[in-house]
Structure 1
Amino acid sequence: MNRNRWTGLIGAALILVGGSVTALYMKAQVPAELQGAPLLAVGEQNKSLKDIIFQTQKHVVMIETDTGSQGSGFLYNSEGDLLTNAHVVAGVRHVTVKTADARELEGEVIGISTDTDIAVVRVPELQGTEPLPLVRYDKAEVGDEVLAVGSPLGFQNTITTGIISGVDRSLHIDPYTYEDLYQVSAPIEPGNSGGPLVDKKSGAVLGINSAGLEDSTIGFSIPIGNVLPMAEGWSREPMTMLPGLSLLDEPVQEQEETSLDQMAGYLVAHFYDSLNNGDYVYAYSLLGGNWKEGTSYVKFREGYLMTRNVVIDDMHVSTRDDEATVTALLSVDERKDGEYVLSKYQVTYKAAYENDQLKLLTGTGKAIKK
């Protein structure tokens, strides 16, 4: 059976695992020495199953939000950063994190994607804690034995076992696109979202449990190596704005004290952060309505596919009435003739509020000759 037909057959039954249990019933590049997590090959170490479970559970947490969403997460670096699913923490900046030793800690969402179901939550109290080992480069194979760890139905640190029953699965569960997934036979319930898929022999994290088939033992996990660069980018430079939230998620009175020129500068910086992380959907969402009408998402994305990294060298912001003008000097790594070259640009943006959201209304740029 071809993949498209297979995907269509399960599409109706497939739902995200985790997120809001009350609102929805769901079943379903930093060097290693800097990020602090050992990066292992599949099955590299052999430990007893009890040891692996004990060591893993210490680093897996339950995540709860004020909106009623509940899921899981796990410590992936020594900075106190947790990896989880975007649908677990969507729409909030601050979350409650419950650890295996019964502590309740505050966590802050420092990075989240609108098209890849991945997010990073920072918990300052966990800084300096040794994280789980990660499988960055190798891929699991069909038949590999795995453990799924999480908080299904609110039962924290539950372990389920199974095997990798399929690889390279691709799915779409609006608004997220899933590619190159592991299909697993480990039972996955509501609340498992964001928990780790662990290699049974080594205890290393293979993936992030994300979705499953209702009333089934078929689940799906995002390979950890596919999303580590994005997560590490947020850990290096946390987002100043999150999708669906007001800038900086500050109280209303504090937002009113923040000037338009500051917000416009944040907006442009965040626009390029999103592009650098490959989150073109979110970057496109920062454009104003008129700009979007004249530029399709496909055309917008194509314009940045050959760009590897953008650095803002200098920025100047001026305001007039209710509109801000942002002029920035950029250093850009662009792919030309099969190799990356450094280019310099001057760009100018107009920013103003549309429906209470600050947007980039227009943008122009010109190359600066060396």
Structure 2
Amino acid sequence: MRTGAWISLIVSVFIVGGAGSAAWAVRSEVPKQLTGAPMLAISDDSRSKGSKTLKDIIFETQKLVVMIETENGTQGSGFLYNEQGDLITNAHVVAGAQDVKIKTADARELEGEVIGISTETDVAVVRVPGLAGLEPLELVRDQKAEVGDDVLAVGSPLGFQNTVTTGIISGLGRSFEIEPYKYSDLYQISAPIAPGNSGGPLVDQASGAVLGINSAGIEQGSIGFSIPIVNIIEMAEEWSKQPMAELPALSFTDDSDLMPEKASMEEYAEYLVTHFYDSLNNADYVYAYSLLGGNWKEGTSYEKFREGYIPTRNVVIDDMIVKTSGTDEATVTAIISVDERVDGKYVLSKYQVTYRVGYENDILKLLSGKGKVIG
């Protein structure tokens, strides 16, 4: 399955990453070398040794956020919350499944088992023995967020693993119902979330602690909803102490009348190129490199990759044009502004870059690319 349906269960609010969502995923791979396009590079000693920077928090959070996939094609996110290897996620991500596949940020594929799931609240716990012993994410257990707090939403929208979006808490106490679940006392957030974000953590930008579980979004506009972690932590911990002997039967109606249109190849290609540069601007070279096709990586090394782009400080996409070749391939041409160091000084240069985007083993990749200086 290359692109799946995005389920919308009420007029304006939809569950993200639920049953029938996209099953294809981007895999993390060992980085080698990318040529032909400038990228951001940050030296290893650029991080503050004192208080955590935003990039520190993103990096530490991403390592403990996973992609969850079920046999029926459902794909969502989850995060490690205790040292037993237990993940918190949304119930609709794992509904109807007991054994699930886990993909970690460092490209491991592990087995997980659903040990607890609610029939009323959209929460579940998945046990992953391969993650036992790791230090989990910190949770905000004793207080709630306030309107205006800066937050991060981490997950796998559209199958792009470990995507980070930023925003604020824009509302409190939101409630609605999407059968079979009742959502109440939710955080409304301005961080946009999409199919695949479900079950991922809502993180406090100041501390890196988990505030909530990203669970639903508005089809029109960048509005999402998260369940406060303080509302469900006792339930999750009870399942961890005493796993359910038998899971309740849960499913979602696969009704085409409730599904919005699939994203087009143009939208996927534009998203992939934009996401590629966002990853580079966050200095996430391993993940950015995983977006490239296999033929592009041959005969290169990570050392050359890093060395080649240290002079580049930031990349901004000024313009982008996407032309498709059928439903499986597209050509993306972009004009980018690059802040790069030349002869010891930073100068602003412009490049035209062209990428061929298509599927490789049913996973959308940047198959090839080239660039030239235009100013």
TM above 0.5, yes or no, is: yes
Q: Cα–Cα, structure 1 residues 63 and 148, in superposed 2: closer, same or farther, change >3 Å? A: same
> Which of 200, 204, 208 is equivalent to 2:209?
204
Distance in 1 of aligned mates of 2:124 and 2:21: 21
The 5 A counterparts of 1:165-184 are: 165-184=170-189
Does 1:224 find its partner at 2:225?
Answer: no
The 5 A counterparts of 1:11-90 are: 11-22=10-21, 47-90=52-95
> 1:215 Cα deviation (Å)?
3.2
Distance in 1 of aligned mates of 2:152 and 2:124: 21
Give the secondary structure class of the aligned counterpart of 1:203.
Answer: coil
> 1:235 Cα deviation (Å)?
0.1
| Residue of structure 2 equivalent to 1:105 | 110
Q: Cα–Cα, structure 1 residues 11 and 46, in superposed 2: closer, same or farther, change >3 Å? A: farther
Q: What whole-Å deviation, never above 9, does each CA across 1:179-204 have from its counterpart, x for those lacking one? A: 11000000000000000000001000
The 5 A counterparts of 1:146-161 are: 146-161=151-166
| Residue of structure 1 equivalent to 2:33 | none
Distance in 1 of aligned mates of 2:176 and 2:134: 34
RMSD: 1.7
Give the secondary structure class of the aligned counterpart of 1:180.
Answer: strand
Give the secondary structure class of the aligned counterpart of 1:63.
Answer: strand
Report how many aligned residue pairs link the two structures.
216
| Residue of structure 2 equivalent to 1:241 | 246
The 5 A counterparts of 1:104-143 are: 104-143=109-148
Q: Cα–Cα, structure 1 residues 210 and 22, in superposed 2: closer, same or farther, change >3 Å? A: closer
Confirm or deny: 8 A CA contact 2:21 2:196 kept in the other structure. no
Structure 2 spans left out of the alignment, 5+ residues: 1-8, 24-49, 251-375
Give the secondary structure class of the aligned counterpart of 1:53.
Answer: helix
Confirm or deny: 8 A CA contact 1:63 1:96 kept in the other structure. yes
> 1:138 Cα deviation (Å)?
1.1
Give the secondary structure class of the aligned counterpart of 1:207.
Answer: strand
Distance in 2 of aligned mates of 1:46 and 1:178: 36
Query: What is the one-letter code of the residue matched to 2:195?
Result: P
Q: Cα–Cα, structure 1 residues 131 and 155, in superposed 2: closer, same or farther, change >3 Å? A: same
Confirm or deny: 8 A CA contact 2:176 2:183 kept in the other structure. yes
The 5 A counterparts of 1:324-335 are: none
Q: Cα–Cα, structure 1 residues 23 and 156, in superposed 2: closer, same or farther, change >3 Å? A: closer
Query: What is the one-letter code of the residue matched to 1:98?
Result: K
> 1:21 Cα deviation (Å)?
3.9
Distance in 2 of aligned mates of 1:51 and 1:136: 22
> 1:105 Cα deviation (Å)?
0.2
> 1:11 Cα deviation (Å)?
4.9
Q: What whole-Å deviation, never above 9, does each CA across 1:69-117 have from its counterpart, x for those lacking one? A: 0000000000000000000000010000000000000000000001100
Q: Cα–Cα, structure 1 residues 20 and 127, in superposed 2: closer, same or farther, change >3 Å? A: same
Confirm or deny: 8 A CA contact 2:12 2:220 kept in the other structure. no
Structure 1 spans left out of the alignment, 5+ residues: 1-9, 25-44, 246-370
Structure with more relative contact order (C-alpha pairs < 8 Å, separation 6 or more): 2
TM-score, with structure 2 as normaliser: 0.56
Query: What is the one-letter code of the residue matched to 1:137?
Result: D
Give the secondary structure class of the aligned counterpart of 1:229.
Answer: helix
Give the secondary structure class of the aligned counterpart of 1:51.
Answer: helix
Give the secondary structure class of the aligned counterpart of 2:146.
Answer: coil
Confirm or deny: 8 A CA contact 1:21 1:190 kept in the other structure. no
TM-score, with structure 1 as normaliser: 0.57
Identity value in percent: 71
Q: Cα–Cα, structure 1 residues 22 and 148, in superposed 2: closer, same or farther, change >3 Å? A: closer
Q: Cα–Cα, structure 1 residues 55 and 46, in superposed 2: closer, same or farther, change >3 Å? A: same
Q: What whole-Å deviation, never above 9, does each CA across 1:161-188 have from its counterpart, x for those lacking one? A: 0000000111111110111100000000
> 1:12 Cα deviation (Å)?
1.2
Q: Cα–Cα, structure 1 residues 82 and 207, in superposed 2: closer, same or farther, change >3 Å? A: same
Confirm or deny: 8 A CA contact 1:59 1:132 kept in the other structure. yes
Confirm or deny: 8 A CA contact 1:46 1:201 kept in the other structure. no
Confirm or deny: 8 A CA contact 2:22 2:158 kept in the other structure. no
> 1:22 Cα deviation (Å)?
4.3
Confirm or deny: 8 A CA contact 2:22 2:196 kept in the other structure. no
Confirm or deny: 8 A CA contact 2:22 2:195 kept in the other structure. no
| Residue of structure 2 equivalent to 1:191 | 196
The 5 A counterparts of 1:299-318 are: none
Q: Cα–Cα, structure 1 residues 138 and 22, in superposed 2: closer, same or farther, change >3 Å? A: closer
Q: What whole-Å deviation, never above 9, does each CA across 1:203-255 have from its counterpart, x for those lacking one? A: 0000000000013211000000100000000000000101128xxxxxxxxxx
